[in-house]
Chain A
């Protein structure tokens, strides 16, 4: 049944794409843009990609898989049949689309992966995305500094992202590497699957079992309001600087994280540079089309902003615009 629906969708998208390509100017360079699904930070990168493409005079054919790896597979194939000059891809699932990507490569179409690395892919020519290990490390480093004065066993709650998402895994790795500097720390990790409701429940349960948690790290700062809610409920929501303050950090750069940091409920957030990511993706594609050789891995580290300097850097925070 799902299959049937998927077929219908495939046909529809094919038909739409045919129309689009028929109208397109044959001379202009066409970039195929294959997106896993739409959410806030992804849209931020896409906007950067589109404005840079426009600047360079490229056309964009955008397809969104809505979280369905099969759909993305066929969408990439249809991009190939439309003879795009390069493909920018953010994968739902690496393994499912590998064949379609190899097909594109055989046709000589350069492939740039953005936002989500495809570490074992034989098809990808370049990757640009966040330096998630460093992002996590920055938050961990700050947390470690704040907790350095405390004696005895320190419990830290980590809200993990999806366990099959490379960015989530890398942020966790970076955070844990940094926090391990403290000799007496215990990290309590809870899975959230990027779901705020699960993050809320997990935080609630974690504080239930371990009331002495001294710091919380959220793999995405969109979970910080949930953390605030729990801390408020158990009367532990004290602003930065207070003795009983629970250290809260996160990675992303959304408005949720910005506001919480501004209020002082969160200490700081690592803000991803979505704009540079998007611009670099297009530039990489452009270079590859022109036959230039490029760096395989291009990571754009984020910047850590704290309550004291976040307002001054509002312009650099994509979620606060």
Chain B
């Protein structure tokens, strides 16, 4: 029987991109049909962003052919070709209204006279099409992360009648918001929109996608149907090696207590008590907004609190960051771009920022950072940071490498207590594995580690114990031998559960 093959919404062959002579992406070829969800997978730095930018018209390709609905085009024009993208960093304007945000790249009316009623109407239509109810006159900054994501999608869909590109759309969403997004994606799929779905979460990819395209080191290394490809096979395709080596071995902790927290309360959490021993990794699981980050920040002296906090037996009363640092506490932030790294400074300087005094030889006042370069080089090698030179600006690195730099910076202070908040967020698999190994080694060397993570497998792999937080309370505690992923998730996500094990 002859089945008429529909015309591909978007089809590329031999797509390549070079920046000043250096090829960063090559050999990308695939076809995207209406109503299809294709996952674009690959480690960070594999070329996903560059590929995405070529597909949505932000970058012109250096080589290769792009066909939109059967027509060859040299550069994608999102508006004209019906292709839109939702970028990982939301591109909304916080002080503008929802309607203004949705319509901004194609405003109704004349340039000198915007037709605001029409603008609001378009925005309402877009949102209604997605089946969500958002006040279009509201400023975007008054919306939650989930609704902002939806506004962003509505904005992209204004032109993306054929192809929608979603780049890591779920990273800042809570579980219910993520479900709503997936429902939306299914609805769009039914309407015949083709979706390119970029995600780090394998479970999401397997839940949502029909096909995959796998990139590694700027080259397309595989493609096929998700249903025919076992997860492990796909992961190995991304990494380019078998994952068996990616198992972390934990050493048992000592009995010496490093951190003791009793009845800690603040605006963000209530009545938190736990302890961490030397050499122990204590994981904290929970949804976004459960108060995990706030607890972590409190332990680093960033927030005021009530209750008792002891570090190696010493009670800390209204501690400052300085005092906590002096006691060997270090903190790796969740949002590295905003809180952690000095983007335009070099890798070297970022690595040594937390412990400058270590490198300063006061032979001549203010002169000589002896050993800064050699120490930085050592860390770069130990953590396998891929960087042309330690004098490169940090902002030019990929997410995983940035995270490694941040980790390296704190490890350079030789800490006794290490607080890690989402240490592998937005990090590719091999970098993640290296960071995991480093954390395990850190614990083995006697450091007490507090690990806050939304990545449950990471917590399960790395922690000796896991605490579960929900709306500012500890609602559960699991020892390693009792780890139960399903129970942890249901405890964190459900509101019906009460404190059972705490």
The answer on direct contact between A and B (beta carbons under 8 Å) is: no
A binding-site residues for B, Cβ under 8 Å = none
